[in-house]
């Protein structure tokens, strides 16, 4: 499947990229396509607790990594918690920038990460944003504490 124009320019895709079909969303099975659920128009779950718990459980299980995969998942988490798809990479930054549960200075920090998401300093910034977002999202959406939170 061809990647829509709204997902580039940016750190994830270029004009010639395509993605393979995925059978299940990121919170059910791991895959390497960025935003494939959004591009394919896959149904967004209404279970915010599942999204939140799965995101943080997997992030911690993988050793709190950063990079493009976790940047795309972080952007998806904010959108999917509100029941909407990521429609493009520029839109995703703007959406989080003005979100009530956004980490401090989210827009500028995400732009910094977008420049080179695999660079060491960008990974540290993303890791910090993911940590900062956890209590903000939990409070904003009135989520329960889980055993691994």
Burial class (CB in 10 A: 0-12, 13-18, 19+), 20: exposed
Domain boundaries in the chain? 45-149
Examine the pLDDT at 149 and tell me if it is beyond 60.
Answer: no
* Tens-digit pLDDT profile for residues 93-113: 999 999 999 999 999 999 999
Report the half-sphere exposure of 76 (CA within 13 A, side-chain side).
27
* Tens-digit pLDDT profile for residues 46-94: 999 999 999 999 999 999 999 999 999 999 999 999 999 999 999 999 9
> In degrees rounded to 5, what are phi and psi of residue 136?
-65, -45
pLDDT of residue 147: 53
pLDDT of residue 4: 94
Instruction: Give the C-alpha separation, 20 to 66, whole Å.
Output: 23
Q: Name the band, by pLDDT with cuts 50, 70 and 90, for residue 148.
A: low
Ranking 16-20, 116-120, 143-147 by mean pLDDT, the lowest is 143-147
């Amino acid at each position: 499947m061809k990647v829509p124009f709204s997902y580039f320019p940016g750190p994830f895709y270029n004009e010639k990229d395509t993605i393979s079909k995925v059978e299940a969303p990121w919170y059910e099975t791991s895959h390497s396509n960025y935003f494939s659920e959004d591009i394919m128009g896959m149904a967004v779950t209404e279970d915010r607790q599942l999204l939140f718990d799965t995101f943080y459980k997997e992030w911690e299980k993988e050793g709190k990594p950063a990079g493009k995969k976790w940047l795309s998942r972080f952007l998806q988490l904010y959108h999917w918690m509100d029941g909407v798809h990521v429609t493009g990479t520029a839109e995703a930054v703007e959406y989080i920038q003005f979100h009530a549960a956004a980490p401090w200075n989210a827009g500028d920090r995400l732009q910094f990460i977008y420049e080179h998401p695999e660079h060491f300093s960008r990974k540290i910034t993303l890791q910090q944003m993911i940590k900062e977002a956890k209590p903000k999202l939990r409070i904003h959406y009135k989520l329960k504490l889980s055993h691994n939170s």
